[in-house]
């Protein structure tokens, strides 16, 4: 159902370094880029995460209540992605761990304040 998620940025080059390293752990690579945006995906026809400078030319801001969730292949992968996000300058919003019997997740904000989750449903 999800085709892509856009995350706003005020410094595309700096934010791209964060996402290049973080998303590579999940097997994602840059699928396209322009001077205003960069997209990552795992497959050509799968969903994408797009880092973008706002079209209206105003500053990008993190939304309160907005969050993109990244699917992982295991709880170990959740741990690795969460720990990498923090090591790359992300801020903790809830450490990786079991949230229920069938849901394992970690929550963090990227260096510009956008909230993300990495999860494994198992």
pLDDT at 12: 97
What superfamily does domain 4-54+66-120 belong to in CATH? Answer: 2,3-Dihydroxybiphenyl 1,2-Dioxygenase, domain 1 (3.10.180.10)
**Residue 3 DSSP class:** -
pLDDT bin (cut points 50, 70, 90) of residue 30 is very high
| Edge-to-edge strands, sheet with 91-100 | 68-71, 115-120, 103-109, 91-100
**pTM value?**
0.90
Inform me whether the pLDDT recorded for 5 exceeds 90. Answer: yes
Q: What is the pLDDT of residues 32-74, one digit of tens each?
A: 999 999 999 999 999 999 999 999 999 999 888 899 999 999 9
The residue extents of the domains of the chain are: 4-54+66-120
Q: What is the pLDDT of residues 90-114, one digit of tens each?
A: 999 999 999 999 999 999 999 999 9
pLDDT at 47: 96
pLDDT at 112: 95
pLDDT at 63: 86
Residue 98, C-beta contacts closer than 8 angstroms, at least 6 positions apart: 104
Q: What is the 3-state secondary structure (H, E, C) of 12-35?
A: HHHHHHHHHHHHHCCCCEEEEECC
DSSP 57-107: SSPP-PPTT--EEEE-SSHHHHHHHHHHHHHTT-EEEEEEEEEETTEEEEE
Say if CB 40 and CB 31 are below 8 A apart. yes
Give me 9's structure tokens: 């940025």
pLDDT at 96: 98
């Amino acid at each position: 159902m999800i085709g892509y998620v856009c995350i706003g940025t005020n410094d595309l080059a700096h934010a791209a370094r964060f996402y290049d390293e973080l998303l590579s752990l999940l097997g994602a690579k840059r699928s396209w880029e322009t001077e205003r945006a960069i997209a990552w995906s795992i497959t050509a026809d799968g969903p994408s995460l797009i880092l973008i400078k706002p079209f209206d030319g105003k500053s990008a801001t993190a939304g309160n209540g907005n969050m993109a969730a990244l699917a992982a292949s295991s709880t170990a992968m959740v741990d690795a992605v969460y720990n990498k996000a923090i090591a790359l300058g992300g801020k903790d919003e809830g450490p990786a761990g079991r949230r229920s019997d069938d849901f394992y997740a970690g929550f963090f904000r990227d260096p510009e304040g956008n909230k993300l989750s990495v999860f494994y449903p198992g």
